[in-house]
Structure 1
């Protein structure tokens, strides 16, 4: 479960998934994923791509 899921347990996530299955839209109160690892890996990938474009070797 996301770290930002304060007060949300497994049952709440399952109910939100059922809501989405019937309505076709995500539940409006469902917490969003704000994962620091994802942000870091995206940043690293962008920096590596920039180094390749500029022809700079990695330290």
Structure 2
């Protein structure tokens, strides 16, 4: 059985700023990883991780 629960985040202003910074950093990392995959023509997940995991 699968149970799905919706929750509403109610962060404090400080927590909201930290969450926004974290999401921005994740997006930048994902964009960089995507560019590496494109530049090196890497199609497989594990191969891409070999090139990017340590830096991220």
TM norm structure 1: 0.41
Higher relative contact order (CA 8 A, sep 6+): 1
- Of the two, which has the highest radius of gyration? 1
